[in-house]
């Protein structure tokens, strides 16, 4: 097989590579080209296509396969169209060429995060339709912008729109992560991102003097308290082999700001933290803890939230839940080994779950290193194709879940 893709290449792989070549990369994603590509897929597949502009230039594309019983709530298959920036000098191949090597690895930004899943949804639906299947529940595929920079002009706005309510979603699938082992990871919740800026004010003066009560001294105290908490959480994770990263609260000091000159003691200094709060944490108590650390550092030390997410519902994963029973049952039929986890970062699932819709994060990539946001992001074509098979089994199970009390 040649690196450029020989005639024998599977058409689903060819489509995947076409989609990867669309430069939906920040800071200036070509969303127009992605929407046009998706509209063409809708036309070929005979699916309904709706474009919802949630902010100027930010369009959510919804492809719909109507069920035989539209009174039932629908299945929502979500994916995002944008990808993170690249440092081309660190790549072996052009990150937007979708180069395929002799072994079958496809190199491109978005191979894992998450253009693979978008095409797997489409190709699973294509296959099921071609085989003449119809299912009771409607299947909606949503392709959203802006996820990589917070989803504030994407899913966060979309869930508030009447067009989203009209989808009547009962259950959703969204992105997960690759798994280097034989297992497939399934995420049922995620940590809540808190971006906190601590500001310390104190007495200014000349850099040659021992001034009391400086902003720097007080900031040092509060930074010490927060980083001591970080160390405690890190030790908790490392000392318990059963704990996964998503089950503890992570903290990172990401910015230090202040000062005007080498010889001037500043009146104000600040430290910014990226905190990811685990789902089982009492958020009110944690906020009070931040307050206490600031107070203990001295007068004039305050904190503010640049971002604070407090809605971290957990999607049920017990067999009594009909959605989980359908999902895990289909996986069992395929002999897939599932690994349940809490997503360590943030995805659009948080907006979906906060809207009261159970959601699982699932990207069917096993025996695959986690390379999202990395140089040389790549995916093997065999892993990609197997993902289509997996969705072609999952969708009939989910779209055939019998009527539930919540459907009426």
pLDDT tens, N- to C-terminus, the chain (408 residues): 444 445 589 999 999 999 999 999 999 999 999 999 999 999 999 999 999 999 999 999 999 999 999 999 999 999 999 999 999 999 999 999 999 999 999 999 999 999 999 999 999 999 999 999 999 999 999 999 999 999 999 999 999 999 999 999 999 999 999 999 999 999 999 999 999 999 999 999 999 999 999 999 999 999 999 999 999 999 999 999 999 999 999 999 999 999 999 999 999 999 999 999 999 999 999 999 999 999 999 999 999 999 998 877 899 999 999 999 999 999 999 999 999 999 988 899 999 999 999 999 999 999 999 998 999 999 999 999 999 999 999 999 999 999 999 897
Which residue numbers are catalytic?
82, 147
Amino acid 2: pLDDT: 45
- Tell me phi and psi for residue 81, to 5 degrees: -95, -20
CB neighbour list of residue 77: distance below 8 Å, 6 or more residues apart: 121, 139, 140, 141, 142, 172, 173, 395
- Whose tokens are 């019998």? That residue is 402
CATH of 11-190+312-407, one of 1.10.3720.10, 3.40.630.10, 3.30.70.360, 3.40.50.150: 3.40.630.10
DSSP state of 140: E
Q: Could you count the other beta carbons within 10 Å of the beta carbon of residue 358?
A: 22
pTM score of the predicted model: 0.91
Amino acid 5: pLDDT: 46
Question: With left for phi above 0 and alpha for psi between -120 and 50, is residue 76 left, alpha or beta?
Answer: beta
Q: In angstroms, how far is the first alpha carbon of the chain from the final one? A: 53
CB neighbour list of residue 287: distance below 8 Å, 6 or more residues apart: none
Torsion of CA 370, 376, 377, 378, to 10 degrees: -100
Q: Could you count the other beta carbons within 10 Å of the beta carbon of residue 64?
A: 17
Tokens of 332: 């069992």
Identify the helix (H) or strand (E) that includes residue 48: strand 48-55
d(CA 50, CA 215): 54
CATH of 192-308, one of 3.40.50.10810, 3.40.50.1220, 3.30.70.360, 2.40.10.340: 3.30.70.360
Amino acid 7: pLDDT: 59
Amino acid 18: pLDDT: 98
Amino acid 313: pLDDT: 86
- Tell me phi and psi for residue 354, to 5 degrees: -65, -25
CB neighbour list of residue 373: distance below 8 Å, 6 or more residues apart: 84, 113
Amino acid 186: pLDDT: 98
Q: Are strands 74-80 and 169-174 parallel, antiparallel or unpaired?
A: parallel
Amino acid 311: pLDDT: 73
Q: What are 144's strand-pairing partners?
A: 80
Per domain, the residue ranges of the chain are: 11-190+312-407, 192-308
For residue range 251-273, what is the model confidence (pLDDT) as tens digits? 999 999 999 999 999 999 999 99
């Amino acid at each position: 097989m040649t690196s450029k893709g020989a005639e024998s290449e599977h058409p689903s792989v060819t489509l995947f590579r076409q989609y990867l070549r669309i430069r939906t990369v920040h800071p200036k994603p070509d969303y127009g080209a992605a929407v046009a590509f998706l509209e063409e897929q809708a036309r070929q597949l005979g699916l309904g296509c709706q474009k919802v502009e949630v902010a100027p230039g930010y369009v959510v594309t919804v492809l719909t396969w109507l069920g035989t019983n539209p009174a039932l709530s629908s299945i929502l298959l979500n994916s995002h169209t944008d990808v993170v920036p690249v440092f081309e000098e660190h790549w072996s191949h052009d990150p937007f060429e979708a180069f395929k090597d002799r072994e079958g690895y496809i190199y491109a930004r978005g191979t894992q995060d998450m253009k693979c899943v978008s095409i797997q949804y489409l190709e699973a639906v294509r296959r099921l339709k071609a085989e003449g299947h119809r299912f009771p529940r409607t299947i909606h595929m949503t392709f959203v912008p802006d996820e990589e920079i917070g989803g504030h002009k994407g899913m966060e706005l979309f869930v508030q729109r009447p067009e989203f309510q009209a989808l009547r979603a009962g259950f959703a699938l969204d992105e997960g992560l690759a798994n280097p082992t034989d297992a497939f990871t399934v995420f049922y919740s995620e940590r809540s991102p808190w971006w906190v800026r601590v500001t310390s004010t104190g007495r200014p003066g000349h850099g040659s003097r021992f001034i009391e009560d400086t902003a720097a001294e007080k900031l040092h105290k509060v930074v010490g308290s927060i980083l001591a908490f970080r160390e405690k959480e890190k030790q908790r994770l490392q000392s318990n082999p059963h704990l996964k990263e998503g089950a503890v609260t992570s903290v990172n000091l990401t910015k230090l700001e202040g000062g005007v000159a080498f010889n001037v003691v500043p009146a104000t200094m600040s430290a910014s933290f990226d905190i990811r709060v685990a789902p089982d944490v009492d958020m009110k108590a944690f906020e009070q803890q931040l307050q206490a650390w600031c107070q203990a550092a001295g007068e004039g030390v305050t904190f503010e939230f640049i971002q604070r997410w407090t809605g971290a519902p957990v999607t049920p994963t017990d067999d009594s839940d009909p959605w989980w029973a359908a999902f895990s049952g289909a996986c069992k039929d395929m002999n897939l080994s599932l690994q349940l986890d809490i997503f360590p970062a943030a995805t659009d699932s948080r907006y979906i779950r906060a809207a009261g819709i159970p959601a699982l994060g699932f990207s069917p990539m096993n025996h695959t290193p986690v390379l999202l946001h990395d140089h040389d992001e790549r995916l093997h074509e065999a892993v990609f194709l197997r993902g289509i098979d997996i969705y072609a089994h999952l969708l009939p199970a989910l779209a055939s879940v019998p009527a539930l009390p919540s459907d009426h």
